[in-house]
Structure 1
Amino acid sequence: MSYLTITPVKAPQPATILADNVNVSATTLDNRLKAALEHARRITEIYGLGSLDAVLAWETVEELQQVDKSLPKNTPHNSFTHYCTENPSALEARIYDV
């Protein structure tokens, strides 16, 4: 007579979902996105791509990426653009249509 041994499986951790109405700064969102990516990669290594844990982790990454895309991006200012905004009447700051 043989018996079947069942190994208990660790319960999946709930996915962190970012609500649409939450105001998150860009640096916090970047940190959360990096952490979510690392978590999803590790969970995929441990449990495999088809596991519920991996699916939830990657879904969280996708949600964070969507929020990141929806936030307005600040354009980087170099010294020339800074000069042009401070001196709009300067010859260098004038914009011509060709």
Structure 2
Amino acid sequence: MSVPSDQKGEVDEPIAVVGMGFCLSGRIASLAELWKLLSDSRSGRGPVSESHFKMKGFHHPDPEQPGPINNNSGYFIDRNLEDFDNGFFRINNIEA
């Protein structure tokens, strides 16, 4: 990977990616944790937390019941999403 030369005719300068950060469902926040999850054939799926909504009021295990939700789990990020640096990615607050 290289940086394109500018209009002054300077030579391309090589660059390197020196780090990365992310968070995924299943409390995954590093490459080592992601590799462990994959190599152990685990899933990042977890129960719906009370901070999302009160599942007891909406859940019914019978998928044939009209109206209620029959699934009581999903893939949730267990971090404060306000910590996301949307400005770095040039994403406005509304889109983020």
TM-score normalised to structure 2 length:
0.27
Q: Which has the higher helix share?
A: 1
Q: Which has the higher strand share?
A: 2
> Which entry has the higher C-alpha Rg, 1 or 2?
1
TM-score normalised to structure 1 length:
0.27
Q: Using CA pairs under 8 Å that are at least 6 residues apart, name the structure with larger relative contact order, 1 or 2.
A: 1
